[in-house]
Every structure is written in C-alpha cells, then in structure tokens.
Amino acid sequence: MMPRSVLRMGVMDYYLCANGAKVYDRAGAELFSNDMGKDEVKQLIEALVPFGARWNVHSGGHSWIERNGVSYMIAEATPKKLKQLVPRSPRHLRSIALSLVHRFVGERGKRIVRSILPVVDSHERFEKVGCSFPSAQACEDAAALARGLGIFEVARVWDCELEITSAGVTKGTTADWLMAHLCIERARSVAFGDSMNDAPLIGHVGRFVAVGNASDDLKELSDEVCATLSEDGVARWLEEQMEEASAADAADN
C-alpha cells in the first residue's frame, strides 16, 4: 500500500504498516504480523450497524472501501480543506486537491465497492479495518462500543472516522518491536505524525514531532511541531538535525 514514489526512491529500510499490524523490510519481506480473523471483523461490523458505519478493510496489502463511506469522508473533509485554500501556493492547492480526489476515487491498491461484506467473506485475515460515520456523535458512541468488546484497538482518526486493529496492536507497540529487532535504544528514535492514529507512538519513541498540518489535539501531545507536509516539513526537520549534529562533531574535533 506504499506510494510508488516512495518505493522507487529505495531509501526506506523498513515499513511499519496498517497502524502497526505489519512490518516489512525494503525487499517486501514480512517481518512481523498481528492481524485479525474474518470472524472478529464480522462481529465488529454487526455490532456497529446501528451507528450507520461504512467500512474499509485491508488484507494482503490491498484495501477496499464502501462507496457510501467515501461520501461520509468527503462531507467531513471538504469544509476543512476549503479553509486551507486561501492564501495558498499552486503546490498547496495541488496537495489539497489530490487529498480530496484520493478520498473519492481511491489510491494505489484501494478499490471502491458497493458493500464490504462480500470482501470480508472472501478473505481470512485482515491487517486493519476502518469505518466512517454520518456524525461525530455516532462515531464516539461506536468507538465506545468497539472498545467494550475487548478484542480491538480503536483509534479515532478524525471526528467521524475510526481505524481498528487487533487488541494491543498500535504503531507504538510495533515501534517497540522494531527497535528491539534492530537493537536501537528508544532515546535514539523519532517519529512524525499528522493525525490521532499516530498518537500511540508518543511514549514509545525518544521524540515525537507533529507536522504542521496535524490535528490540534495531536500537536498538543507532541514534543514539537515541524512545517507542514506540503512544505517538506519532515525532510526539513531531519536536515536541520543532521546539520546540528555535524556542527557539534566539527566543534568536538
């Protein structure tokens, strides 16, 4: 599910995917997996029917999303995106437009379907499931019920959207696994995030940096904030850190 542009660069050694349910190396070999079975997903779908949930599921590196769920997300995202339009450069406008298009027509590896149930019936294991709702209150109530089932990890991404993994599976717990696998001390790690499904990384890494376009809730929890994604915030932050480290090494020598 990684963007082709990232894969072509060939600079990433490991990929932590699906909110921590999978870890792959640069060759695409699976190093870690903690996913959900078909029966668990069916139980979840049935439990959230009263809240008007519309679903997306992720299995074997592919994603499926219900068309009505796309409508929910468009309704939620469009007002926020419109507020970002002025003043903006052509690069910012392109980024905003692509974000909305991706929500409507899907991204690489994502397929739009009328109903998610046939997809669930035809697969045995799922890395992650997501659902969107017609209102923030419906989303809040659904999240409480899903957590009450005791077998899921529930992340509220935006006001009307949840992402759900198997109990105990978060980006934070899987970051712990990867650092242990690589024998890296937590103090030497840093993570970046833009929505509340990245919040579980806090406390599991040495520093957590929210990008400038992150939600206000996430910014309040972060150690610091860098520039927005469209302004190359992550790259600029890393370059600044490397320049500071190089300057410190030069001074020591």
Q: Tell me the CATH number of domain 36-166, given options 3.50.50.60, 3.30.1240.10, 2.60.40.1180, 3.40.50.720.
A: 3.30.1240.10
pLDDT digits 0-9 by tens, 10-67: 888 999 999 999 999 988 899 999 999 999 999 999 999 999 999 999 998 888 988 8
Spatial CA neighbour of 157 closest among 210, 194, 111: 194
DSSP secondary structure string for all residues of 203-222: TTSSEEEE-TTS-HHHHHHS
What does the domain layout of the chain look like in residue ranges? 36-166, 184-252
As given in the structure block, the two tokens for residue 181 are 């696998």
pLDDT digits 0-9 by tens, 79-112: 554 555 445 556 656 555 655 555 544 445 578 8
User: Measuring CA to CA, how many Å separate 151 from each of 61, 148, 158, 224?
Assistant: 22, 8, 22, 33
- pLDDT for residue 245: 87
Distance CA 129, CA 117 (A): 12
Q: Residue 165 belongs to what H/E stretch?
A: strand 161-166
Tell me how many helices (H) and strands (E) the chain has: 9, 14
Q: Tell me the CATH number of domain 184-252, given options 3.40.50.720, 3.40.50.1000, 3.40.50.620, 3.50.50.60.
A: 3.40.50.1000
Please identify which residue in the block is written with the tokens 């690589």.
Answer: 182
